[in-house]
Structure 1
Amino acid sequence: MSSSVVSVRYTHPQAVLWVVCLIALIAVAGIALPYPILAPLFAATALNDFNHWLGIAPEILLGIALAANPLGMLFGSATLGALSDHYGRRRVLALSLTLAVAGYLGSAWALSAEWYPGFVLFRFLTGLCEGSVSICRAIAADLHPQIERTVAISWMNSALYAAWLVGPLVGGLTMHLGAFVPFLIAAAAMVPCLCMLYFLLPPDLPLQQHQPFWQQLRQHNSLRLVRLPLLRLVVAAQLLYTIGLNAFYEYYPLWLVEQQQFSGLQIGLITAVLCAVMTTVSAVGMARLGSRLPALHGAKIAAVCVALMLFLLPFTSGKLAWVWLVLCGVPNAMFSAWFQVYCTEHFGELGLGRVMGLLTLLMCTGNVIIALAGGVIALFGASWILWTGAMFIALAALMLVREQRRSAATA
């Protein structure tokens, strides 16, 4: 029996929500943290043991270094959330955060020592532990009914959106102190989170079943949920949507350069505004108004809006392109909140940690798929990648229509 089965009442639910949002923000910001740091290191004309390890081309080494963290997060999201259902949220989250601190410190040391293999390994370890985002999402859902579920999940999503802005910002503003400094800052930010968890989260219940760890890991990971017929349409919808959304996230800068002749500064500004809009819509709009529509119905409408807006984006230009691109973030923030609320309400008995881990796992998988396929599609022009993303999101909306019919038929 999982400890999560028993309803938990938190003494300070609002404080708990703020802390887990901060942890999720730091975790996801850690993915984007090295973006402004590593590119100059590997593009430097002076070759060294770090950017020319074993004589391998710097471009390949950069790709491996950037992929290590999200790859670790993919594995972590598949296991940590499910383990927290069994061993307890506080216990697993505290351990993963402790190891994440070690990963950040190790990354800083490997950078200063110019030890490339160590840097990649520590980035993978950090990503593995940052799979604890699924635990944070599960805790946000656990807060219901003390905090309405739509409100808690909307605040969590707003923290994740903000992370994609905070990560590169911290890295870019502090790298002049040394390429390793941003990683030290990330490690330091994790320490007070650990302390607050100790005081705010109630102790985990004693384990009622004593299975060997590896057996528990094998039997209760999020990957096993993919096989359930009950979740077939939900899994398809999440994977299709994240493929389409990542096509937008990863390749709209290329479209802005190819079609709109945007500079790097302009792309940075529009990205900042996009993140701010999604954060605001999630934290303010969805937190206050999200419960006025049935979650699945709202998610379906939002997915259709995202698909339509993404399809029309390549036909815009000038200032309209600025505005239209930013507005694409509005229905996306709505979809994310409504879809997660639906999943926690209807499939929470499978273990909130496992369910949130599954959603995070599918998000990472979608990221990998479009990253591999996008380069080929880009040969035909960046607009085709955006249209491909719109098609996948439209297919996700179709899956939600079918899920709505299935849910109504079994009600």
Structure 2
Amino acid sequence: MNTSSKRKISFFSILFTFFVDNLGWSIVFPIFAPFFLDPQNVIFSADVAFSTRTTILGVFLAAYPFAQFFGAPLLGEFADRSGRKKALILSIFLIFVGYVITAISIHFANLTWLFIGRIITGIFSGNLSVCLATISDLSETKKAKAKNFGLLSVLAGFSFIVGAFLGGKFSDSKISEYFTPALPLMIAAVLSFINFFFIIFAFRETLEEKKWVKFDFLEGIHNIQQALKTKNIKTIYIIYFLFVFGWTILFQFSPVLVIKKFHFTNSQIGDLAAFMGICWAIGSWPINKLLVKRFSPIKILEVALLVFTLFCGVVAFPKDLTNVILLLGLCVTIGGLAWPLCTTIISDRAPPRMQGKVLGMSQSMQSLAMAVSPIIGGLSDQIHIYLTFLIAAFASLMAALIYFKAKI
């Protein structure tokens, strides 16, 4: 088999891994909010208040990215030291284990093991940074890299559509008595197990020069410190953090919003999530592709942050469902546009030999934002659901203001 064919197979392998990882993540989207907030759920006693349930939900949602915050840079270092393939094999197998534990804990309504399962999955889902580094390895030019990162974003949107739809339907016992919240987690486990063997037999190592590194279990914290000291990237990192913070609040608490205001079921949340996934794919591919031809990524990001701030700030206020869904769709479309732009800008400012490290730092910033935001969202929801989305809009506004001040 020639080199070109090997590269194509490796490229497809990474796309499949990225798809399965994102599908496994999105398949739980319609599950956890109803599972925690349903007063009939035996995971809490009947006297636990709705506001308390929302706060615990926020902490639970933070557990996954918090674990990813520590896991992603370690996996990035491991991938740079031992190769992309070994890092992927290890992480995918343990993601499979995490899904199995989560499914069993949901079935037996065990909150402690539910947290443990999500933490294990979160630690090893940090392999998304390995996927990004591998795509960077396989991209021969900056234009190809931007195109491939855009393709990953489209794939994330598509996998989100499929995962959210499956999660919503297969977790809703009103559709079938055989459907439970644990079933989608078992589906995710099976897909991860298939992916494990796919990487073993189909993926070819892309890292040409391996390097020895000393593992640091506080690498996530050190990455944040280093990111804030990196002259030509630190401002983009801060903007990225604030954008992801606002985006995560919007994303994680849209189910809480529609449950509170419109009494959505698991299946309806899955349908909403599928719609959001379509919007994400539209923003990250056709709109991204159209705008990149005419404007620089920085200029596009500038406008995207301002538009996201506007829509996110008003998303919770309409009283009718149609306008809420319309505003959510617009927010997600802008998010799909902004995410690959941030990733491309960060990657372009890093030397080739540091792609794994820099993208690991990027993953740390993202994970920290995604860990902090659900806790803030859960606490602010106790005051009012509107406040949650106003905080998200404020974070995006701060990102825009930093951009204008820095004049990147």
Range class of TM-score, shorter chain: 0.7 to 0.9
Cα-to-partner distance string for 1:115-134 (whole Å, 9 max, x where unaligned):
66445333322221111011
Which amino acid letter does the alignment assign opposite residue 215 of structure 2?
A: W
The DSSP-based 3-state class of the residue aligned with 1:145 is coil
Report what 2:335 is aligned to: 332
Whole-Å separation in 2 of the counterparts to 1:200 and 1:291: 34
What are the Cα deviations for residues 253-279 of structure 1, in whole angstroms up to 9, with x where unaligned? 455566xx4341565544322221111
Q: Distance in 2 between matches of 1:150 and 1:190?
A: 27
Instruction: Pick which of 170-179 and 110-119 moved more.
Output: 110-119
CA contact (8 A) 1:31 1:70 kept: no
Alignment partners' CA distance in 2, 1:69 and 1:180: 17
* Distance change (3 Å), C-alpha of 1:79 and 1:399: farther
Aligned to 1:189: 191
Distance 2:384 2:170 in 1: 35
On the 8 A contact 1:302/1:335 being kept in 2, the answer is yes
Partner of 2:403: 400
Corresponding residue for 1:245?
A: 247
For 1:26, the equivalent position in structure 2 comes to 20
- Let me know the Cα RMSD of the aligned residues: 3.8
- How many angstroms apart in 2 are the aligned matches of 1:165 and 1:142? 28
Instruction: Indicate the residue corresponding to 2:384 in structure 1.
Output: 381
Aligned partners of 2:293, 2:394: CA distance in 1, in Å? 28
CA–CA separation in structure 1 for the residues paired with 2:257 and 2:107:
36
CA distance in 2, matches of 1:256, 1:52: 22
Where in structure 2 are the equivalents of 1:2-401 lying within 5 Å?
11-34=5-28, 39-40=34-35, 51=43, 59=53, 67-108=62-103, 117-145=112-140, 148-175=144-171, 176=178, 180-203=182-205, 210=212, 213-214=214-215, 222-223=223-224, 225-230=226-231, 231-255=233-257, 261-264=261-264, 268-287=270-289, 289-313=291-315, 316=318, 318=320, 319-349=322-352, 351-401=354-404
Residue 348 to residue 158, structure 1, CA distance change in 2 (3 Å): farther
Distance 1:67 1:397, change over 3 A: closer
Q: Which digits, 9 at most, give the CA deviation of each residue in 1:346-403, with x for residues without a partner?
A: 1244722222222332222223323222344335533333233222112212223345
Aligned residues: 390
Overall identity of the aligned pairs, in %: 18
Query: Using the alignment, how far apart are the partners of 1:267 and 1:115 within structure 2?
Result: 23
- Deviation track 1:88-125 (CA, whole Å, cap 9, x = no partner) reads 21221122112222333344455567766445333322
- Amino acid across the alignment from 1:129: F
Q: Distance in 2 between matches of 1:184 and 1:141?
A: 32
Shift of 1:341: 0.9
In structure 2, do the counterparts of structure 1 residues 44 and 362 end up closer, same or farther at CA, with 3 Å as the change threshold? same
Is the CA contact 2:69–2:363 (under 8 Å) kept in the aligned structure 1? yes
In the TM superposition, residue 172 of structure 1 has moved relative to its aligned partner by: 3.9
Which moves more between the two structures, 65-74 or 213-222?
213-222
Tell me, in whole angstroms, the C-alpha distance in 2 between the residues paired with 1:262 and 1:220: 40
* One-letter amino acid of the counterpart of residue 308, structure 1: L
What amino acid sits opposite 2:24 in the alignment?
Answer: G
Residue identity opposite 1:264 in structure 2: F
What is the alpha-carbon distance in structure 1 between the residues aligned to residue 279 and residue 200 of structure 2? 33
With over 3 angstroms needed to count, the CA separation of the structure-2 counterparts of 1:170 and 1:330, relative to structure 1, is closer
Q: Structure 2-normalised TM-score?
A: 0.79
User: For structure 1, which segment, 396-405 or 338-347, has the greater mean C-alpha deviation from structure 2 after superposition?
Assistant: 396-405
AA in 2 matched with 1:185: I
TM-superposed deviation, 1:205: 5.7
Secondary structure of 2:5 counterpart:
coil
Secondary structure of the residue aligned to 1:23 is helix
Q: CA deviation at 1:201?
A: 3.4
Cα separation, partners in 2 of 1:291 and 1:360, compared to 1, 3 Å: farther
Q: Is the 8 A contact 1:244 1:393 kept in 2?
A: yes
CA contact (8 A) 2:30 2:255 kept: no
- Measured against aligned partners, the alpha-carbon deviations of 1:214-250 in whole angstroms (never above 9, x if no partner) come to 3698599744532424132122111111222223223
State the alpha-carbon separation in 2 of the partners of residues 52 and 377 from structure 1: 21
Give me the whole-angstrom Cα distance separating, in 1, the residues matched to 2:184 and 2:100: 10
Q: Is the 8 A contact 2:223 2:361 kept in 1?
A: yes
Match of 1:4 in 2: none
* Whole-angstrom distance in 2 between the partners of 1:325 and 1:37: 19
User: In the aligned structure 2, how far is the partner of 1:189 from the partner of 1:15?
Assistant: 19
- Following superposition, the deviation at residue 18 of structure 1 comes to 3.9
